[in-house]
Amino acid sequence: MADKVKLAYYLSGGCGGCDMAIIDLSENLVDLLPRLDVVFWAPTVADVKYRDLEGLPDKSIDVGLFSGMIRLSEQEHMAAIMRRKCRTLIAYGACAALGGIPGMGNMHSKEEIFQTAYFDTLSTDNPDGVIPQTRCLVDGKYELTLPEFYRYVRPLQDVAEVDYFVGGCPPHHSFVARVIPDILGGSFPAPGSWITSDKAVCALCDRNPAVKGEEMKLIKTIKRTTDGPPEEGKCLLQQGYLCLGAVTQGDCGALCPKVNIPCRGCGGPVPGVKDFGLRAISAVASLLENEELVDRIPSPVKLFYRYSLPASMLGRKIK
Partner 1 sequence: MSDWKPNIVVFACNWCTYQGADLAGILRCDYPSTISIIRVPCTGCVEPEFIVAALKNGADGVFVGGCHPGDCHYQEGNNKAAARFKLLKTVLTEMGFEPDRVRMEWISGSEGKRFAETMTEFNESIERIGPNPIGRYINGG
Binding site residues, partner 1, CB under 8 A: 107, 151, 274-275, 277-279, 281-282, 284-286, 288, 290-291, 293-294, 297, 299-301, 304, 313-314, 316-319
Here's the x/- map for ligand SF4, 40-59, by CB under 6 A: it reads as --------------------
* Stretch binding ligand SF4 (CB under 6 A), from 24-32, 91-99, 140-148, 178-186: 91-99
Partner from partner 1, ligand SF4, none contacting 5, C-beta within 5 to 8 A by type: none
Q: Are strands 135-138 and 142-145 parallel, antiparallel or unpaired?
A: antiparallel
The CB density around residue 87, as the number of other CB atoms within 10 Å, is 13
CA separation for the pair 171, 178 (Å, rounded): 11
Partner from partner 1, ligand SF4, none contacting 264, C-beta within 5 to 8 A by type: ligand SF4
Candidate residues 95, 247, 281, 309; the one interacting with ligand SF4 per rule CB under 6 A: 95
Q: Does 105 bind ligand SF4 (CB under 6 A)?
A: no
Q: Does 201 bind ligand SF4 (CB under 6 A)?
A: yes
**Cβ proximity to partner 1, 5 vs 263, nearer residue:** 263
CA distances, 118 to each of 71, 110, 124, 127 (Å):
17, 12, 6, 10
Candidate residues 22, 89, 176, 243; the one interacting with ligand SF4 per rule CB under 6 A: 243
Least separation, in Å, of the C-beta of 312 and partner 1? 9
Bond before 310 cis per omega within 30 degrees: no
Q: Does 183 bind ligand SF4 (CB under 6 A)?
A: no
Q: Does 94 bind ligand SF4 (CB under 6 A)?
A: yes
Interface with ligand SF4 in residues 279-318 (CB under 6 A): none
CA separation for the pair 226, 107 (Å, rounded): 24
Partner from ligand SF4, partner 1, none contacting 282, C-beta within 5 to 8 A by type: partner 1
CA separation for the pair 179, 91 (Å, rounded): 14
